Structure 1
Amino acid sequence: MLKPLFYVLTTTIISASAYAAIPMPDYAVPSQGQQVILNIPQLRLFLFQDGKLIKTYPITVGKASTQTPLGEYKIGAKVTNPTWNVPRSIQKEMAASGKPVQTSVPPGPNNPLGPVFVRLGAPRLGLGIHGTNVPSSVPGVRSHGCVRLRSPNALDFAAAVQSGADAAVIYQQASVNTDEQNDIWIAVYRDPYNKRNLNKKLLNQSINSWAEQHQLQVNHKRLINVLSKPSNTLICLTCSAGKTKVSGNLSSLQWTSGVGEIVELNYNKATNTRPQQETAPESSSIEVDEDTDDTPKQNITPLHPDTRPASQQPAPAGSVSTPNSDFDTLM
């Protein structure tokens, strides 16, 4: 069991409704087996099992100068209590900034990899999904390319994900979803890598197609506003004035292709349902590019994998907080 001495993880049973209002990416997950999806603009990791979302967490990704590379990967070895071998490039950064130069950092509260490291792709790529000794740095765009989770979430993820599972790092600047009453909800995210690849024509096409099929009226003023001011806010484009909450679970539309249909499971990608065998860890010493952050460390109570205290969630004017979500809803 993944339980480092210097962290305590409270076991929580998560109901399916806990993730009901989390916007889903436009990605066909396999009907069998596991799939990890990391959406860079959304700053969120998703873990699916047999086509169902079982875990989701806020993340920190690489900054613009050291981007987390997009593509498809495999989940590799999982290492608890990793020792961080500091790459020479980071040692040079330490020296240049006047910090004491370190060649390695042992497990413990000063280790920027946190209590667990999950390899993403081949070791030669130098990528991983790991915890952090600075929980306030998550979510964000500030790493050297690895993906950070708050340490309780990293432990939870490592315990749930299988080595050998498929993983995809994608770049979708919007999530277009429908709820169980067929209303359309959209969240638009900032463009941290300045890709400017949000295809508004296909997005509008898919929204209008769904609305026409279900005899809904799209509030184009709301759509224009959210596209012009990305804010991670979950907004309903077709709701009546009295509706302020998502009805049931959200389902993603195939908006990146302009189809305007629900994203279906990928049965062609279905693989053996037997759990993948653990990949032998290359070592408990991990050498990856990462920061030693000067931000004061926080002793925090582990949070639910997908929610923060309401007092820490900013609510823009006119928005309504959605329970168990990192998003606000806006009519």
Structure 2
Amino acid sequence: MTLKTRPTPFRQTVTALVAALAVLLVDPLSAEEGELPRGHFLLAESGKVIGENYTVTVEDGDTLVDIARRHNVGYEAIRMANPDVSLWAPYAGTEVTIPNRHILPDAPREGIVINLSELRLYYYSAEGVVETYPISVGREGYATPVGLTKTTVKVKDPHWSPPRSMREEAAARGEPPPTVVPPGPDNPLGRHAILLGLPSYLIHGTNKPEGVGMRVSRGCIRMYPEDIESLYERVPSGTQVNIVDQPFKAAWSQDGVLYAQSFPRLEENRGSVEPILEAIQVVSQAFGDDQPPVDYARLRQAVEQPDGQLISLLRSAEPAPEPVTLYDELVLGQR
């Protein structure tokens, strides 16, 4: 059975040339050196999987959080990819996995797409190119809203005014309200901020980069200082921003493999449909007209034990005594 039709070499070459030209316009030095800039990936002509995982070795004085920042990874992602490695005191010589492979969110490839459960931002900056960066989102009680908006005003060295919720909390404790913080090292917005069409919500930097990749904000999108600075210089005002919450993703790679990627769910966005049933729907949409042999046990495991790692859902075709639906096999497998 043919799972996917591969593009012709000629079309692949043309696509690669166009994408390379786009990258050259973004960062001429990196393009000359034959390397893509930080966070940049070329889009394949088919498939929705980008990047590859790789490993690095811990050096004296490194923390896992330091390594994550150097390699464009957030706190939770590096922790889940290396569950047996100490975050703050890994042994020198330890091999660390860098989770650098992603399934693109199921959303139009336009402007900025933010996937809340994934704690990751995607920016379709040029034809054939996508950029992706780790982010922090709203913590429990201050959930970042899902919806479609756009960038408005960009501010360098912003002042930070404490939100009403912080002033109310201080008053409840009998404490004086927090004061406006001028630009500088104590400013929680960092040096760059991009305002959104959603009132009081921003994409901004931080003075605590070790928290990037966690749910720690009051609803805003936080980024590493170097990442927001890069976007600040290049994202035009009026750029579409699509905020989605997709804890489970499934898609074909360019070479015809069906992958899934699952993240811990945000409880405030949990609907009435069970997670396993949502996963069935996502995988069914990825099938298209094909009905490939799916490893249902792995699908169940991905949903029940989300760790952000890509897993193949395909298995070798085996004769079955009776044909069953995807739903039936998942339910029967739990009995």
TM-score by length of 1: 0.60
| Structure 2 CA distance for aligned equivalents of residues 69 and 121 of structure 1 | 12
Equivalences for residues 49-68 of structure 1 within 5 A: 49=125, 52-68=128-144
Q: Which runs of 5+ in 2 are unaligned?
A: 1-28, 31-35, 44-49, 52-100, 317-335
**C-alpha distance in 2 between matches for 1:191 and 1:206:** 15
- Say whether the 8 Å CA contact 2:158–2:183 is kept in structure 1: yes
* 1:210 to 1:173, Cα distance in 2 relative to 1, 3 A: closer
Name the CA shift for 1:102/1:161 in 2 (closer, same or farther; >3 Å): same
Supply the distance in 2 between the matched residues of 1:186 and 1:24 (Cα, whole angstroms).
11
Q: 1:136 to 1:210 in 2, by over 3 A?
A: closer
**Post-superposition offset of 1:201:** 3.9
Pairwise mapping of residues 1-331 of structure 1 onto structure 2 (< 5 A)? Answer: 13-14=36-37, 16=41, 19-20=50-51, 21-30=101-110, 35-49=111-125, 52-94=128-170, 101-122=177-198, 125-197=199-271, 200-201=276-277, 203-204=279-280, 207=283, 213=289, 216-238=292-314
Deviations 1:140-161 (A, max 9, x none): 1121111111111111121221
Residue pair 1:62, 1:147 contacting (<8 A) in 2 also:
yes
The root-mean-square deviation of aligned C-alpha atoms, in Å, is 2.8
Residues 206 and 121 of structure 1, relative CA distance in 2, 3 Å threshold: closer
CA distance in 1, matches of 2:104, 2:292: 21
Distance 2:253 2:155 in 1: 39
More displaced stretch, 128-137 vs 169-178 = 169-178
Letter in 1 for 2:185: P
CA drift of 1:210 comes to 5.2
The alpha-carbon deviation at position 135 of structure 1 amounts to: 0.7
Distance 1:69 1:212 in 2: 30
More relative contact order, 1 or 2 (CA 8 Å, 6+ apart): 1
Q: Report the AA paired with residue 155 of structure 1.
A: E
Name 1:256's counterpart in structure 2: none
> Equivalent residue of 2:178, what SS?
coil
Q: Which has the higher helix share?
A: 2
Map Cα deviations across residues 107-147 of structure 1 (whole Å, 9 max, x no partner).
Answer: 1111000010100115xx11100001111111111211111
- What secondary structure, in the 3-state scheme, does the structure 2 residue paired with 1:175 have? strand
CA deviations 1:281-302 (Å, max 9, x no partner) are xxxxxxxxxxxxxxxxxxxxxx
Query: 1:209–1:150: structure 2 CA closer, same or farther, 3 Å change rule?
Result: closer
**Superimposed CA distance per residue, residues 158-202 of structure 1 (whole angstroms, 9 cap, x where no aligned partner):** 122111011111111211121111111111111223433366446
CA pair 78-214 structure 1, distance change in 2 beyond 3 A: same
The letter of the residue matching 2:149 is Y
CA contact (8 A) 2:119 2:134 kept: yes
Q: Percent identity?
A: 29
Deviation at 1:207, TM superposition (A): 3.0
Q: 1:201 and 1:91, CA in 2 relative to 1: closer, same or farther beyond 3 A?
A: closer
Q: How many positions carry a matched residue from both structures? A: 224
2:98 aligned residue = none
Distance 2:176 2:315 in 1: 56
Deviation at 1:212, TM superposition (A): 8.3
TM-score (norm 2): 0.60
Mapped contact 1:67–1:193 kept (Cα < 8 A): no
Residue pair 2:136, 2:212 contacting (<8 A) in 1 also: yes
